[in-house]
Structure 1
Amino acid sequence: MSQGSFVFSPTALRSMERDKELLERQQNQKRLATPGASSYFLKKEMRERSVASSRGPSQPRALICQDPVVQNALYTGDLEAVRQLFSKGAPANLVIQPQGGDMLWVKERGIWSLTYEQELTTPLHITAGRGFTECLKHLLLRGASVDLAPGGTTALHEACEECQPECAKLLLSYGANANAVNEDGLMPLHVCTEPESIECAKHLLQFGAVVNGRSLEEDDTPLHVACRHGLPDHVKLYLRYGAHLEHHNDEGKSPLNAACSVPQEKAKLGRYHQVCQHLVEAGANVLTQDQQRQSPLHMICKHINPDVTDLLLQHGASVNDMCYGGNAPMHYVLKQVAYKPEHEPERVVQALLNYGAVRVWPGALTQVLKCCCTAPRVIEVLLNTYDRLKITDSWAEAIPPDVFKQHQGFYESVFALTQTPRSLQHLARFRLRNYLEGRLHKVVPKLDLPTFLKNYLLLSFRDYVH
């Protein structure tokens, strides 16, 4: 084969055309085999063809390629091979059809069959998603259609999802649609879900991406997505471009709700705190509720992020509001203590009590011991809101022997109060806290008292009760 010739012979091209026609027939059969959706897809296809014809001559039809030589060159980013395979005059709008064996239900035959699940992609998708910028540029120069999406997603989506900013910028400079919608109803900004995708998001906005574009299924904006994934840099960027703070998605969640409503790993607690801080400083409503009447405080107590709890309380979150399930924020945190002791749940409980949370009913303390005994500081801060305790045998039974042994000093101080009244120092604290109920967080810092006494009034931890 000469240097200037193309690897696909006429026979190979005819074979690819037959493969494409076979694939189209299979897709039509699949659509017709689904009664509820067939008419929708057929009408949608007719509309798209009608629109395409009204715009003038259509682009050349894409060829389907299963050639492993071509796929290997693209997947490895072999620039020389790509230049040779896609030389001048060669078709650049190929549809790549990698295959893998899967058991699928064949409705027409009523059996399970080992067949091949085909995922359609293109040379642009492969090179853009893997950061092969020079290969991508060569394909674009050879006329590859920048918005071709045979598998339901564009190459720009692929570049943004895989955090390849140079490829994203190149595609945009060649006219890629910054607001293209993939098969899941997402625009490229919606798939910027990693911290490393910040440069992709910047390029998208510079090339006209709609900062308040909504996903088709969840009605999420890019700000919802950034908040849900704990991306403070993305949040700052979107707010600078005018992102809406109070748009509620299909679940009734604002971006602040979205940030607080997802499980948060300990290593990411700081990121979510920064996200919420940016939102609150921009004017987000901390009292907003979703369809279940859950506020951001309800949600963040469920996922136990002490710094975000403090932030919301400092900006006016209501500590005793109940959701439709009858739960206040305190209920949520106490239910999660055993699962997230490393998140410092005692700090959340302490903050809620200092901001006026209703105390646990004394008759329920045995149940609280069962749920929270592995976090003795939670028990300590709760017990220090009572002037007297009625300790019964059920308390001892609620604490497993191994937990008692691990925290023996603390639990011995608790059970020592069985026949002993609380100390005079604690009783003074109790009276003063009752007098200042709901105002503790405002009044105590202003009192002319030593710091250790202020901390004592605000239920600082001592790892024993007295």
Structure 2
Amino acid sequence: MAQETFAFTSSALRSLRLQRELLEQEDRRRALAREWATRRFLPASPRPPLPPARRPQYCRDPAVHNALYTGDLLRIQSIFKDEITTNLVMEMVSEELVWSPEQGLWVLSPHRQQTSALRIAAGRGFGDCARHLLLRGAEVDAVVGGRAPLHDSVAAPHPDCARLLLAFGADPNVLSAEGAAPLHLCAAPESLPCAELLLAHGARVNLGTRERQVTALHVAARQGLVAHTELYLHHGADPAHRTHQGETPLNAACAAAERPDDAERYYRVAELLLAAGADPGAAGRKDHTPLHNACANGQPRLARLLLHHGADATVPNCAGYTPMDCALHAVEEYRHQHPEETIALLLGHGAGPVHPKVGTKGGAVGGLGGSRPSVTHLFRQMLKFCCRYPPALELVLNAYDRIPPAEGWLGAVPPELWEEHPDFYASVVRMAGQPRRLQHLARCAVRRCLGTRCHAAIPKLALPPPLRCYLQLPLEGLIS
């Protein structure tokens, strides 16, 4: 009996060999996972001295690059068989046109781009290829060409590859060459599962980029990502965190809300940030507050939200511009977004087209004139920004008890617009430089007395409804 042997078929031998390989791969995966868990949860212990740095080896073979970029698993398995091959630096050389000052012309210059096999596989969602590379010894946190594989997988985004890398011990806070963590690259709505994975594996939600100190909440706010913003705030993100330039996430959201199609997303982001305690008056770059940015982008609903939470409608930025100045500058560009609503909101909160302190420092608002300009001169300059849009011009003119002479600004109105609104512009010319009606003067006096309380006090006045409406500067299409 001891002399007997069993004849294994080729298929049986192949099955046994595959089973042995799978067991070895699973043992390696578990060892890597245990090492990562130990590094994360146990107190730091003295580390043994690092081995001498291994000199990187490069692969410039287009056939190898093609196998990686197409996700050819069979070829990848035949090429990458050990730790040395899986950690080769993939280097691509392309020709780029660059300007040569010495020759005075554009010349072709070689441009080298480096990456790793694992970066390519993870960044393109080739999970089976990435798994093979990891099991063959690919360094999961190797920063090659400026990024680690986890950066590429979440930026793509490919949640399955991100989950695989994290299971093999990838550091969720690994920094790129530019100082960005993977969470900073979750900049698209589809990246929400990746952001959830990173936070579940220990990503620091308030970690800032190395140079600018931008957090993941800044990125989500700037991109108008409502679900990301809610997720980060739930995990303890700080809505008051400032970048190196002083920007808060609320500043970033209001500055990025430019297109009408995106208005709802940015409004909801701002709502979440304000509910979490964001300061509506936090001045960021160039002393721009969120209200300055909302008005400059022609966003009346966002401006209303900020004013409701206590934003100051009269505060100037470093150049002396108030939110009203920003709103008037934006009238022509955002005339289809009802800029008159923003102007009416600001007027109801005590704002005026010309800042009352203008000229006290020896300069004009935003460089609109010489030293110590008159308020009338600046008023005319501001009227030039809104004279092409009658509703905005009417509101601005009705905020004052006297209209300045028309020759200083009415020339900016194109003839075709004059023909479209002849009655309105004729009434402006007729009243320019003339005293207004007593009724209008009384309205100006009441609004001046109420100041910043106009929006809340006027609806509560014990007056007939037509008078209350008149005090709120309704649009009539004429100046009387």
Shorter-chain TM-score tier: 0.7 to 0.9
Structure 1 residues 427, 56: CA separation in 2 closer, same or farther (over 3 Å shift)?
A: closer
Q: Which residue of 2 aligns with 1:324?
A: 318
Q: Which residue of 2 aligns with 1:441?
A: 455
TM-score normalised per structure 1: 0.78
Q: Deviations over 1:149-185 (max 9, x none)?
A: 2212101111122222222122111111110111111
Q: Which residue of 1 aligns with 2:6?
A: none
2: distance between equivalents of 1:237 and 1:144?
32
Q: Which residue of 2 aligns with 1:167?
A: 161
Q: Which residue of 2 aligns with 1:69?
A: 63
Give the counterpart of 2:246 among 228, 252, 261: 252
Give the counterpart of 2:392 among 378, 399, 404: 378
Q: Is the 8 A contact 2:83 2:138 kept in 1?
A: no
Q: Is the 8 A contact 2:303 2:342 kept in 1?
A: yes
2: distance between equivalents of 1:392 and 1:112?
53
1: distance between equivalents of 2:98 and 2:284?
39
Within 5 A, what are the aligned runs for 1:423-434? 426=440, 429-434=443-448
Structure 1 residues 143, 281: CA separation in 2 closer, same or farther (over 3 Å shift)?
A: same
The code of the aligned residue for 1:411 comes to Y
Give the counterpart of 1:239 among 219, 226, 233: 233
Structure 1 residues 84, 321: CA separation in 2 closer, same or farther (over 3 Å shift)?
A: same
Within 5 A, what are the aligned runs for 1:164-313? 164-262=158-256, 264-290=258-284, 292-313=286-307
Q: Which residue of 1 aligns with 2:428?
A: 414
Q: Which residue of 2 aligns with 1:99?
A: 93
Q: Which residue of 1 aligns with 2:4?
A: none
Within 5 A, what are the aligned runs for 1:43-122? 54-57=48-51, 63-86=57-80, 91-102=85-96, 114-122=108-116
Q: Is the 8 A contact 2:353 2:379 kept in 1?
A: no
Q: Is the 8 A contact 1:161 1:191 kept in 2?
A: yes
Structure 1 residues 58, 241: CA separation in 2 closer, same or farther (over 3 Å shift)?
A: farther
Structure 1 residues 342, 136: CA separation in 2 closer, same or farther (over 3 Å shift)?
A: farther
2: distance between equivalents of 1:239 and 1:452?
46
2: distance between equivalents of 1:349 and 1:396?
20
Q: Is the 8 A contact 1:266 1:342 kept in 2?
A: no
Deviation at 1:106, TM superposition (A): 10
TM-score normalised per structure 2: 0.76
Structure 1 residues 113, 416: CA separation in 2 closer, same or farther (over 3 Å shift)?
A: closer
Deviation at 1:433, TM superposition (A): 2.6
Deviation at 1:103, TM superposition (A): 5.2
2: distance between equivalents of 1:373 and 1:440?
25
Query: Which stretch has the larger CA shift, 398-407 or 330-339?
Result: 398-407
Structure 1 residues 407, 157: CA separation in 2 closer, same or farther (over 3 Å shift)?
A: farther
2: distance between equivalents of 1:412 and 1:186?
59
2: distance between equivalents of 1:59 and 1:455?
77
Q: Which residue of 2 aligns with 1:405?
A: 419
Deviation at 1:435, TM superposition (A): 3.8
- 5+ residue gaps, structure 2, are 1-46, 355-374
Q: Which residue of 2 aligns with 1:20?
A: none
Structure 2 residue matching 1:180: 3-state secondary structure: coil
Structure 1 residue matching 2:115: 3-state secondary structure: coil
Q: Is structure 2 residue 172 aligned with structure 1 residue 158?
A: no
Structure 1 residues 408, 84: CA separation in 2 closer, same or farther (over 3 Å shift)?
A: farther
Aligned-residue Cα RMSD (Å) equals: 3.2
2: distance between equivalents of 1:419 and 1:248?
48
2: distance between equivalents of 1:452 and 1:76?
72
Deviation at 1:410, TM superposition (A): 3.5
Structure 1 residues 328, 67: CA separation in 2 closer, same or farther (over 3 Å shift)?
A: same
Structure 1 residues 182, 429: CA separation in 2 closer, same or farther (over 3 Å shift)?
A: same
Percent identity (aligned)? 40
Deviation at 1:342, TM superposition (A): 2.9
Deviation at 1:243, TM superposition (A): 0.9
2: distance between equivalents of 1:220 and 1:276?
17
Q: Is the 8 A contact 1:366 1:398 kept in 2?
A: no
Considering only CA atoms, is the larger Rg found in Structure 1 or Structure 2? 2
Task: Provide the aligned length of Structure 1 versus Structure 2.
Answer: 412
Q: Deviations over 1:178-200 (max 9, x none)?
A: 10111111111111222222221
2: distance between equivalents of 1:456 and 1:78?
74
Structure 1 residues 340, 84: CA separation in 2 closer, same or farther (over 3 Å shift)?
A: same
The code of the aligned residue for 2:395 comes to V
The code of the aligned residue for 1:443 comes to A
